[in-house]
Structures are given as C-alpha cells and as structure tokens.
Chain A
Amino acid sequence: MSARQTLLAAATASILALAMAPASAQSLRYANQGDLKSLDPYTLNETTTHAHLGHVYEGLIARDKDLKIVPALAESWETPEPTRWRFHLRKGVKFQNGDPFTADDVVFSAERVRKKGSNLQTRIPADAKVVKVDDYTVDFILTSPNPILNSQWDTWYIMDKKWAEANNAVEPTPAAATAPSFASLNANGTGPFTVESHQPGVKTVYKANPNWWRKPEHNLKEIVFTPIGSDATRVAALLSGEVDVVEPVPIQDITRVDSSPSAQVLKGPEIRTIFLGMDQVRDELLYSNVKGKNPFKDVKVREAFFKAIDVELIKTRVMRGLSTPSALMIAPQLFKLSGDFTRPKFDPDGAKKLLTEAGYPDGFEVTMDCPNDRYVNDAAICQAVVGMLARIGVKVTLLAQPKAQYFAKVLKPGGYQTSFYLLGWTPGTLDSHNVLFDIMGCRDDPKSARGEANLGGYCNKKLDELTDKVLQESDTTKRDLLIKQAFEIAAKDFAYIPLHQQALAWGVSKKVKLSQRADNQVLLYWATKQD
C-alpha cells in the first residue's frame, strides 16, 4: 500500500505545495454547494462544471451577461446556406501552454466532443461534417438545417489538439472512467485563468492568465474554490468573511446576509422552471388507490390539480417572494411571446367541482415523488402542494428523497416509476424546442429520444408535428408563432402544472462586485475585489 501511496502523494505534492501559498488582497475565495468533479470539459454536462471550466476554457462563442450570444474564439460566423455554417476564428490566441489556437484545434474538439464517453455529444449533430477551410476558417456542414446549432457552444470548450495528443488525452474522459485521465486532472485552455491546483472535494486554485487575449474585467490574482455542501456552514463562512462569494444562499438566510455589514445577496430570476407532472400513460397508476383506471388520463382531474394549487402562496410563504409564478414550461426570458399566456386562477372550489364531475367526489389517494436536495426548497414546495391537494380531498403521500434515489426511480432507466412528481428543467439550448421535444414529446417511439424527460408520458401528436416544424423553421417570427401554438395545446391539455421559476441567490462580500447570469453560472472573470 505505502509504495502506491507514496508515488501518488509525490505526484500531487508539488501541485499542493503551491496551493498553500499565502493569500493576497486580490485573491477571491469562492464556495459552492457542489464540487468540481472533473477538469475534462467533455465529461459532465452540468451547470456548475461548465461554469468552473469556463474560467479556463473558451468556446467559439460565448454568452454575455444577458445570455446573448457573442463572439469568443470565433470572431464572426455566417450561414451561406441553411446547412452550412462558417466560422472565422480569432487570430493570435494562445493556449495557456503557449500553443497557438488554430482551425485544427476546432476540428479536433468537434471530433472529441462527439466521441464515445463524452457527455456533450449532442453539442454537434453526429452526422455534421467539420471542415478546415484554412488555419482560421472552419465550416460545419449539416444534413438538415438547424437554426440553433451554436446555441450551446458557449460550453463546448475548445481544447488544444497538440496538448491532447502529447498527453494521451485524445479520447474524452467518460463519466464512468475507471482510471483518472490526464485531461481530468489537468487543464489547458485559452481562458482568463489557469488551474494552479485541483484537489477534488477539497480545494481548487485558479490563477489569472497573464497572456489572455482579452483585456480582463476582473482584478484578481487568483480564485480559491472550496466546495461547502452544508447550507448553514456556507452562510456562516460568508458572514464571518472566510469566503467572498457563495452559491447558493438558502432563501431563508437572505435577509440575514443582507442585514450583515459585510455581505449581500445578489438576486435574480433563474431560467429553470419548476413544475409538477402526472402519469398520463399507464392504464392504472402505480401508486394510487384508484384501481382499473388512471384518473390523470382525465383532463378534468389534471385541471382540478392545477387549480387547487396556489402558486402565489407558495411564492410568499415557501419561496419568501423569490420566485416567479409561471404560466409556461419555459422561462419568460427564453420565449418572446410568454406574455400572451396567463396562468388559470387558483380556484379550490372549482377544482373540487371538477373532481366531482370526473367521478371523484371524495378525491383519491396518490403518491408524489419529490427530490429534497435538488431545487430551491423542493421538499417544502411538495409539502405545501400536499396540503393544498388535501383541501380538495386528494390524499397525497409524499415520498421526498435525495436526488440520487429520486432520479433513479422516476427517470427512464428506472422505468418512469412515478404517478405524480416535481421536477425542474432548464432547456440546455436556452430554446423552447428543447422543452417541446424532451418534456412534452410523445414517448411512444422507443427508438427516438423524443420525450425522454417526459416522465408522465403526456402525448399529443399535433404538438409533436409543431415541434418538428419548429426545428426546421429559421424565420424567428414564424418560429415563435409555431412555438406559441404548441404551448397552447399543452396548456389546454393541462399537460403539466408549471409552478415557477426559482430565484438565483448568490452571497457576495461587499468588497466584491460581480455580474449575475440567469443560467446560474458563477463567472468570476467579471468580478472585481477591493482591498
């Protein structure tokens, strides 16, 4: 044992010694609930990981503080024909090890991100061809038009071909890798920071990259990141000045943080939508006392559930004002015509009447699945829902579990084992099509990925047809109208019960200035810190 460990220890010793260097005035200390699990940018498709690696790596495009697409490693791009995208690359950019950035790196990264083991394979269609035109021009040739091709490319980070080849890192590190790869422990991007040391679960230190091609907005020398899982500890660390930025601040602690002399909370709407779903596909619910039929197949029952839930009360009491009740399954920032939709009014009496009409004058029993460590106050929201449904006679048994067990049960690999559930969804593309396809699409074709996150199996072929048209349509106005039509169908069917968009809450020391982005990526290259 000791020989093995000595070797391993020796390997990390030098890195760690550097991490222990004393902090300076412009050292920003940041704590997050979650950890940075791998440095390989293609291992994990997850917000926190993308945000972390976004300090080191960059994509062809970036998203600015308002989530608008802006040039990054690509200076400009055009679509000479609907199936061909041409990107003009930025010249003079160097990777952190000194290698120049060229079209070869883009072609390489496009291959690597689609390889087996990558968790970001859908960033580029599998059948798309990526062609180097010259050292600073790359073409993407598609088999069918896709107006939102580059919508997720802000987190498709470009890697250094030479570096990867030299270090045996050509293959992406699969999430299930049985041995740590070079790329999961080392990073070499073009971004504003370099990874100084990385001790998973304990500490990661980033150092400012003096050779960054852009003029930095930040004034930081280094960022020291520590994962702090416990809510109370994280808040205490911020209040006592041990860290400068924390994410998230539990909403009940916002007042206290705001009233402290040293820190405040940056608040803003998040683009994740929290909603309730119902099993509408089985002939008999898995967890209910109603036998021989499925009450949720009756639109009246779904409408009754919708109207029995008082989102405003959830907002004021459970979310302490920090949520935006939603009529749609997508955040208003992401869909222009959201304003055309309003939520049906809270109406418990009407709900009771609907239940009676549907043949359940005394309600029925059903089990609700709920995560208790995934979304803001998720279990508390579920409890509130249980209480509200109890008032119209529906007896809900709540099964609130940690996300590991919850997802194992309700997702496709677990066989969609749920009758009634709470889930949150951020469309990865920041576009409605993702919601229509993943959440609202019929899942009757086992070969298609359509409706894979449609845990309740809602299905309306007319909506699916519209969804397909939405993907092909490149005229934005027409496209928005198609989306609107599709959402109207879902609303009429009471396919889902959207609750709200939760709020972002970052705790920030008063010494630090920071911009908050609605996708909850904490990007510290926009931060400045006073002495």
Chain B
Amino acid sequence: MLAFTLRRAIQAIGVMIAVGVIAFSMFRFAGDPVNQIVSLDTPAAEREAVRKSLGLDDPVPVQFARYFGNAAQFKFGVSYQFRQPVSNLLMERMPATLELAACATVLAMVFGILMGVYSALRRDTILTKFFQAVSLIGISLPTFLIGILLIYLFSVTLGWLPSFGRGDVVRIGWWTTGLLTLSGLKALIMPSITLGLFQMTLIMRLVRAEMLEVLRTDYIRFARARGLTTRAIHFGHALKNTLVPVITVAGLQFGSVIAFAIITETVFQWPGMGLLFVQAVQNVDIPIMAAYLLMVSLIFVTINLVVDILYTVVDPRLRSTIRRPA
C-alpha cells in the first residue's frame, strides 16, 4: 500500500513537471509581452530594454529553468499587467473561484441526486420526463449561452439578480466570502447555476443509472423478499449503494469545475482565478497564465492521486472517467 502510494506520488510529480514544460513552452510563444507593457509610441530602444529586463532575450531553456525553479517554491514572478506577485493575485482570487465551484458542486449534488432518484423510481411520470428534458438541455446548451440567457432574463429584463461580480464580501483571515452578505448570496445564484448545470445533469444521470442497476440486483430482490418497506429498500439500500460512485465522480469533477469556471467567470465577470486567466491570455501575461495552469493541474493531480489511492478500496469500475464539454 505504501509502495503504491509512493509510486503514485512520484508519477504525480512527473505529471506536474510535464505540465510545467507544456505551460511554459506554450505561453512563451503565444504573443509578445513587451507590447503589453509599453505604449504604442514607445521608442524601439526602450522596447528592447524592457525585453532584456524581462529576460526574454535569454535562451529558452534558461528561461524555463528559471521559471520552474521559482515555481517549485510557489514564486510565479510578477504579473506584467498588475505588477504584483502572481502568487499574491492568485491567492486573492482563489476564494472567489473555490466558493463558486463549491456552490456549483453542492447545487449539482443536491438537485442531481434528488432528480436522479426520482426519475429512477418513477420512470414514466411527467416530472421524470421534465427532469430528463432539463438534463438534456444541461448538456446541450453551451455554458456561455446559458449564462447570457440568465443575465438577459434575470438581470436586464426582471432586474432581480446582479449581473456581475461577487457583491459585498466579508474577509475572514486571508479568505473572502460572499456567503455572509445578502448581496454576496444573490450574486452567487446565477453563476452557480450556470456552472453547476452540467454537473447536475451528470449526477442525475449517474444516480438514475446506478439506481436502476442496483434495483435489479439480487440483494434488493432479497430485501424485497424479506418484506422490507419500499422506502427502506430505496433509500436504505439502493441509494446508499449509489452514493459512493456519485461522491467519487463529484470529487473527480471538482478539478474540472474549477477549470471550467473560466467560461462562467468570464460571462459573469466573477473576480476569480478563471477570469484572471482569461484576462491574462488576452494580455499575454505569461506569469499568470503559467501559474494558473500549474495551480489547476496541481488541484487536479491531487484529487486524482487521492482518488487513485481510494480505488484500491472502492469499486474499480469507477475508472471510466467522464469528461465535460465547455
């Protein structure tokens, strides 16, 4: 067990190094950061000086070694746009993203499980058909379209919910939270729905499929034969059996929820890491882009590692991974 864990951990580090190489080499060539820093009529000599001071003149391997050495100590350099340490900016933005991702996940779990259980037990009711329609829409409408629709409906037309930002936030230590103010909670609603809709669909389908499968198994039949009530069978046995894979999948998906928050954050101007990343891409802010990719990868690899280790204990069928669209 220890050897397995160790091997996985070493592999995870290898993955991180590979990601580092990819992240660095991609963004080194994506655009010219010098143009972002100086203005249109800055003399060429000055531009060259800026280029030199950024170390963009050094050979690429040197630039990479320098970057990676620093990144290993969580020093991602200074953002070209903001002139602040990237680690500082990321930490400032991280609570926003994690809060949004967590809310979206909770929302997805609660409604996904409820809808999944219902549609597995009452297979032909109108409500089930409706849930299935919602779930189809959930995977068939691109995230950005859903966000635009919600804003158009609830902010512009009805004026009920704020269209952008986090509202008022409260600071607790280095963490900022929007969960303690009314405007913060209101601001969370639409982005969470937008981000969580796909997860909800996924979980609903998973729960439904698992429930249907479990309900067919011998031990449920046996439970029925023992004369247990339907309720006890459904919730005491069937649902309990479904929850393990559901929670595992939700856990595995948390990393990609964070990554996919990029689109939601862009649509709602949510001041999280995803928006920071998109702005960085637009402004060719190499330090932020590379740091973001490494951070997301780190979160993802950590989750994967934990899940991998848990695999030895839990059902190996869960290995099939479910990807989500944009």
List the interface of chain A (C-beta within 8 A of B).
1, 4-6, 8-10, 12-13, 16-17, 20, 22, 35, 37-38, 43-46, 116, 119, 121, 173-181, 184-185, 199-203, 226, 228-230, 232-234, 236-237, 239-242, 373, 402, 404-405, 407-408, 411-414, 425, 428, 438, 449, 452-453
Closest Cβ of chain B to A369, distance in Å, is 14
List the interface of chain B (C-beta within 8 A of A).
31-32, 34-44, 46-51, 53-54, 74, 77-78, 80-85, 87-89, 91-93, 148, 151-152, 155-156, 159, 162-165, 168-171, 173-174, 176, 266-269, 271, 275-276, 279, 282-284
Tell me which residues across on chain A come within 8 A of B44, comparing CB atoms: 412-413, 452
CB atoms of B269 and A201 under 8 A apart: no
Tell me which residues across on chain A come within 8 A of B266, comparing CB atoms: 229-230
Tell me which residues across on chain A come within 8 A of B151, comparing CB atoms: 232-233, 236
**A235 nearest CB neighbor, chain B only:** B156
Tell me which residues across on chain B come within 8 A of A425, comparing CB atoms: 40
**A20 nearest CB neighbor, chain B only:** B168
CB atoms of B174 and A119 under 8 A apart: no
CB atoms of A202 and B35 under 8 A apart: no
Tell me which residues across on chain B come within 8 A of A179, comparing CB atoms: 78, 85
CB atoms of B87 and A404 under 8 A apart: no
Tell me which residues across on chain B come within 8 A of A174, comparing CB atoms: 50, 53
CA distance A135 to B88 in the complex (A): 42
With A8-B87, A233-B164, A242-B163 given, name 4 new contacts (CB 8 A): A5-B87, A13-B171, A13-B174, A176-B54
Tell me which residues across on chain A come within 8 A of B43, comparing CB atoms: 449, 452
CB atoms of B268 and A233 under 8 A apart: yes
CB atoms of A408 and B171 under 8 A apart: no
**A373 nearest CB neighbor, chain B only:** B282
Closest Cβ of chain A to B285, distance in Å, is 9
Tell me which residues across on chain B come within 8 A of A199, comparing CB atoms: 92
CB atoms of B267 and A233 under 8 A apart: yes
CA distance A373 to B36 in the complex (A): 13
CA distance A46 to B40 in the complex (A): 9
Tell me which residues across on chain A come within 8 A of B34, comparing CB atoms: 176, 413
CA distance A438 to B87 in the complex (A): 40
Tell me which residues across on chain B come within 8 A of A404, comparing CB atoms: 31-32, 35-36, 282-284
CB atoms of A230 and B269 under 8 A apart: yes
Tell me which residues across on chain A come within 8 A of B284, comparing CB atoms: 404-405
Tell me which residues across on chain A come within 8 A of B162, comparing CB atoms: 237, 240, 242
Closest Cβ of chain B to A372, distance in Å, is 11
CA distance A14 to B266 in the complex (A): 28
Of the residues A9, A20, A184, A411, contact of B174 by C-beta under 8 Å: A9
Tell me which residues across on chain B come within 8 A of A428, comparing CB atoms: 41
CB atoms of B41 and A438 under 8 A apart: yes
Tell me which residues across on chain B come within 8 A of A176, comparing CB atoms: 34, 37, 50, 53-54, 80
CB atoms of B163 and A240 under 8 A apart: yes
Closest Cβ of chain A to B326, distance in Å, is 17
Closest Cβ of chain A to B144, distance in Å, is 10
What are 22 residue pairs bridging A and B, where the CB atoms are less than 8 Å apart in the complex? Answer: A5-B91, A5-B174, A6-B174, A10-B174, A119-B42, A175-B50, A201-B276, A202-B92, A226-B165, A228-B164, A233-B268, A234-B164, A237-B162, A242-B162, A242-B163, A404-B283, A405-B32, A408-B32, A411-B35, A412-B44, A412-B47, A414-B32
